[in-house]
C-alpha cells in the first residue's frame, strides 16, 4: 500500500468521492474524515496476507482509533480486538464485540482494573509475574497468554519501540519458561505467547527476528511440558507517510514469519495486532487556513488544528503529508510552515512544505491521520475535541459531534465559598 493518491476535480480534492470543501462546509473544521471502504480493504489485506499461510486472527489494536462507528465496521469484518485498558474493553463491548473476540494486554495493571477486566469475560494476555499472581487469586483456572520481551525492537522512533531489552513491557526472555511453569503451579492455564516489537517500523527483518525468538521460546515451553495453541506477534506494521516511500512488503512478511513457526514449532495459529495499518490512511484531517503570516525568515499557513487535534508531529516529529485541498493539483510555488492555534512554538503540523499559494479559507488536508490522531487529541487551550465524519457510498455522516464548552466543564466542581 503506497501513500494514497487523490483525485482533483475542478481544482478541489476528492476524498472517498466527496469534495473536501463541501465536507468542511457541512461539518466545520477541524474534522477527521474516514473512508469506510478503506478501513475494510486494509483489514482484508492483513487477514488475507496471513491466512494464506496459517490459521489467523487479526486483532485490531483499537488504541489507534476507538470511534464506535469505526469499531463497528471492523466487527462486521470479523476482526478481533487488542485492548490495553478497561476503557478500551468497555468501548469495544459497546461496539458489539463478543468478549471472546477481545484480548486484553495491559501494562502495570492495578488489581482493581484486573478485576473489572475479568468480570467482562475477555481474554487476558499477562504482562508481568505480579499481574499473573493477582489473576490467579482473582480468577483461578483462567486461560492466559504472556507478553514476553523479545529483545528485538523496531518502530518509527525511540518513543514507540517496545520490544527491546529493558523495556517496561513483558516477561524478560530468561524468565519466560519459569513463568509458564509458575502459572501452571498456581492454577492458571497458559495457552499462548505474545510479543510486540514496536510501532510503525517499515522493514520485515525485525518481525522475522521476533518470530525466531518466539519459536525458540515456544519450543522451550513445549519441552517443559506445556503445549501452546497460538502465537501472537503483536502489531507494528508500518505505513508510508511520504509520497514515493516504499511500502512494507506485507505478503513477504506474512510468508516469512509464518514459515518460522511452521518449520520450527507445533503452533498452528497466528494472531496479529495491527492498529496503524488498518486505519492510518483511511482518514484525513481537514483544517481550515485561518491566517497567512510572513515572519521574516519563513511564511506560515495558520490553521485551526493544532497539537490538541493531531499531536504526532509535535510529539514524535512525525511527518504527515499536507495538501491544499482547495487548490489541489495546482503548481506548488511557495514554501510554508503549517502551524496551529495553540500558544506554543512547538505547535505545528508540518515544516518546510511546498504548496500552491495558500489563501485564508483554503481547506488543508492532512493525510494518514486515522491512527493515533483523534485518540491522542486533547483539550489543551480549552479547545474542543474535533468532530469525526464517516463517508460511505458517496454519503458523509457525522460519527462524533464536535465537543461543546459545557462538556469541558461538566466534571468540574467549584467549592461553594469560591462561588461568591
Q: Could you give the residue numbers annotated as active site?
A: 343
Does residue 353 belong to the site contacting ligand LLP (CB under 6 A)? Answer: no
CB closer to ligand LLP out of 108 and 409 = 108
Q: How many Å apart are CA 219 and CA 221, to the nearest integer?
A: 5
- What residues numbered 1-60 form the site for ligand LLP, per CB under 6 A? none
Give yes or no for a contact between 320 and 313, defined as CB atoms under 8 angstroms apart. Answer: yes
Closest CA to 123 of 50, 219, 194: 194
Residue position matching grid coordinates 467549584: 414
- Shortest CB 8 distance to ligand LLP, Å: 29
- List the helix and strand counts (H, then E) for the chain: 12, 21
Sole binder of ligand LLP in the list 234, 340, 341, 386 (CB under 6 A): 234
- What residues numbered 76-105 form the site for ligand LLP, per CB under 6 A? 82, 105
Does residue 372 belong to the site contacting ligand LLP (CB under 6 A)? Answer: yes
Count CA atoms closer than 13 A to 274's CA, side-chain side: 29
CB closer to ligand LLP out of 162 and 179 = 162
Q: Candidates 21-29, 38-46, 230-238, 384-392: pick the segment binding ligand LLP (CB under 6 A).
A: 230-238
Question: Mask 157-196, x = binds ligand LLP (CB under 6 A)?
Answer: ---x-x---------------------------------x
Checking DSSP bridges between strand 55-61 and strand 80-83, what pairing results, if any?
parallel
Give yes or no for a contact between 89 and 117, defined as CB atoms under 8 angstroms apart. Answer: yes
Checking DSSP bridges between strand 363-366 and strand 322-324, what pairing results, if any?
antiparallel
- Shortest CB 240 distance to ligand LLP, Å: 14
Q: Candidates 48-56, 219-227, 228-236, 284-292: pick the segment binding ligand LLP (CB under 6 A).
A: 228-236
Q: Grid coordinates standing for 374?
A: 483523534
CB closer to ligand LLP out of 44 and 299 = 44
Does residue 64 belong to the site contacting ligand LLP (CB under 6 A)? Answer: yes
In which region does residue 58 sit, left (phi positive, over 0), alpha (psi from -120 to 50) or beta (all else)? beta
Q: Is 174 exposed, middle or buried (0-12, 13-18, 19+ CB in 10 A)?
A: exposed
**Is the bond into 30 cis (omega within 30 degrees of 0)?**
yes
CB closer to ligand LLP out of 150 and 356 = 150
**Residue 337 backbone dihedrals phi, psi, to 5 degrees:** -100, 140
CB closer to ligand LLP out of 226 and 248 = 248
- What residues numbered 260-289 form the site for ligand LLP, per CB under 6 A? 273-277
Q: How many Å apart are CA 246 and CA 334, to the nearest integer?
A: 27
Question: Mask 303-332, x = binds ligand LLP (CB under 6 A)?
Answer: ---------x--------------------
- Binding-site ranges for ligand LLP (CB under 6 A): 61, 64, 82, 105, 160, 162, 196, 199-200, 234-237, 273-277, 312, 371-372
Amino acid at each position: 500500500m503506497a501513500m494514497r493518491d487523490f483525485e482533483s476535480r475542478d481544482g478541489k480534492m476528492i476524498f472517498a468521492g466527496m469534495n473536501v470543501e463541501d465536507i468542511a462546509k457541512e461539518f466545520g473544521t477541524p474534522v477527521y474524515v474516514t473512508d469506510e471502504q478503506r478501513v475494510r480493504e486494509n483489514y482484508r489485506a492483513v487477514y488475507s496476507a496471513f491466512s494464506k499461510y496459517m490459521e489467523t486472527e487479526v486483532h485490531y489494536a483499537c488504541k489507534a482509533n476507538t470511534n464506535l462507528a469505526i469499531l463497528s465496521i471492523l466487527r462486521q469484518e470479523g476482526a478481533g480486538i487488542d485492548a490495553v485498558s478497561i476503557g478500551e474493553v468497555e468501548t469495544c463491548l459497546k461496539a458489539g464485540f463478543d468478549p471472546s473476540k477481545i484480548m486484553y494486554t495491559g501494562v502495570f495493571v492495578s488489581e482493581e482494573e484486573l478485576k473489572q477486566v475479568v468480570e467482562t469475560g475477555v481474554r487476558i494476555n499477562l504482562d508481568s509475574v505480579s499481574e499473573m499472581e493477582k489473576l490467579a487469586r482473582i480468577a483461578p483456572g483462567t486461560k492466559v497468554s504472556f507478553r514476553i520481551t523479545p529483545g528485538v525492537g523496531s518502530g518509527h522512533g525511540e518513543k514507540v519501540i517496545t520490544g527491546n531489552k529493558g523495556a517496561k513491557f513483558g516477561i524478560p526472555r530468561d524468565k519466560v519458561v519459569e513463568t509458564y511453569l509458575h502459572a501452571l503451579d498456581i492454577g492458571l492455564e497458559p495457552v499462548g505467547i505474545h510479543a510486540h516489537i514496536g510501532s510503525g517500523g517499515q522493514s520485515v527483518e525485525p518481525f522475522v527476528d521476533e518470530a525466531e525468538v518466539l519459536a525458540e521460546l515456544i519450543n522451550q515451553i513445549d519441552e517443559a511440558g506445556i503445549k501452546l495453541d497460538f502465537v501472537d506477534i503483536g502489531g507494528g506494521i508500518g505505513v508510508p507517510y511520504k509520497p514515493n516511500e516504499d511500502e512494507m512488503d506485507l505478503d513477504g512478511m506474512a510468508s516469512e514469519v509464518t514459515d518460522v513457526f511452521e518449520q520450527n514449532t507445533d503452533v498452528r495459529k497466528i494472531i496479529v495486532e495491527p492498529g496503524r495499518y488498518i486505519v492510518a490512511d483511511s482518514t484525513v484531517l481537514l483544517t481550515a487556513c485561518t491566517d497567512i503570516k510572513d515572519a521574516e525568515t519563513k511564511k506560515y499557513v495558520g490553521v485551526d488544528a493544532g497539537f490538541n487535534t493531531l499531536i504526532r508531529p509535535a510529539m514524535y516529529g512525525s511527518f504527515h503529508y499536507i495538501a491544499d485541498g482547495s487548490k489541489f493539483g495546482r503548481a506548488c510555488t511557495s514554501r510554508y510552515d503549517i502551524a496551529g492555534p495553540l500558544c506554543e512554538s512547538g505547535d505545528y503540523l508540518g515544516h518546510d512544505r511546498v504548496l500552491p499559494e495558500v489563501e485564508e479559507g483554503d481547506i488543508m488536508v492532512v493525510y494518514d491521520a486515522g491512527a493515533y490522531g483523534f485518540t491522542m487529541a486533547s483539550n489543551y487551550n480549552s479547545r474542543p475535541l474535533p468532530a469525526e465524519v464517516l463517508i460511505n457510498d458517496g454519503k458523509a455522516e457525522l460519527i462524533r459531534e464536535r465537543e461543546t464548552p459545557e462538556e469541558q466543564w461538566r466534571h468540574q466542581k467549584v467549592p461553594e465559598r469560591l462561588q461568591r
